[in-house]
Amino acid sequence: MQELINYLFETKAIRVCPKGKPFWYTSGKIGPYYINTHFLFGGEKAANVFLEEIDRLKVNKTACSEEFHRIVKENYSKDPVYKGTIDIMVEYIRQNINVEDIDYISGGERRDWFFSFMIADILAKPHITLFKDASSVIYENGASFEKENIEKASVLHIADLITSASSYERAWVPAIEKINGVMKWSLVVVDRLQGGGELLEKLNVNSHALVFIDKSVFRKAFEKGYIDADQLDLVLKYIDDPEGFIDSFLKENPDFISESLKEGRKTAERAKLLLKSLEEKKQKEEGQ
CATH number of the domain at 169, please: 3.40.50.2020
Instruction: Decide if 214 contacts 239 (C-beta within 8 A).
Output: yes
Residue 223 belongs to what domain range? 2-35+216-283
Query: Is 45 inside any structural domain?
Result: no
Same domain, 193 and 235: no
In a domain, 41, yes or no: no
Residue 196 lies in a domain: yes
Within 8 A by CB and 6+ apart from 241, the residues are none
Last residue of a domain, one of 211, 242, 273: 211
Question: What is the predicted pLDDT for the residue at 281?
Answer: 85
- At residue 91, the pLDDT reads 99
Same domain, 13 and 131: no
Order across the sheet with 136-140: list the strands.
143-145, 136-140, 127-130, 104-108, 154-162, 182-191, 206-212
In terms of Cβ atoms closer than 10 Å to its own Cβ (0-12, 13-18, 19+), residue 273 is middle
Residue 236 falls inside a structural domain: yes
Q: For residue range 181-201, what is the model confidence (pLDDT) as tens digits?
A: 999 999 999 999 999 999 999
Contact in structure between 141 and 65 (CB atoms under 8 Å): no
Tell me, yes or no, whether 119 and 203 share the same domain: yes
Burial 207-220 (b: 16+ CB within 10 A, else e): bbbbbebeeebbeb
Q: Which of 168, 185, 211 is the last residue of a domain?
A: 211
Residues 182 and 254 in one domain: no
pLDDT at 1: 78
Q: Alpha carbon of 17 to those of 24, 94, 258, 261: distances in Å?
A: 10, 36, 20, 19
The number of domains in the chain is 2
Q: For residue 288, is pLDDT > 80? A: no
Residue 162 lies in a domain: yes
pLDDT in tens, 20-33: 899 999 888 999 99
Query: Same domain for 106 and 194?
Result: yes
Asked if the structure places residue 51 within a domain, the reply is no
Residues 145 and 268 placed together within one structural domain of the fold = no
Q: Please check whether residues 66 and 201 belong to one and the same domain.
A: yes
Residues 145 and 69 in one domain: yes
201 plus 72 within the same structural domain:
yes
Report, as an integer, the average pLDDT of 196-221.
97
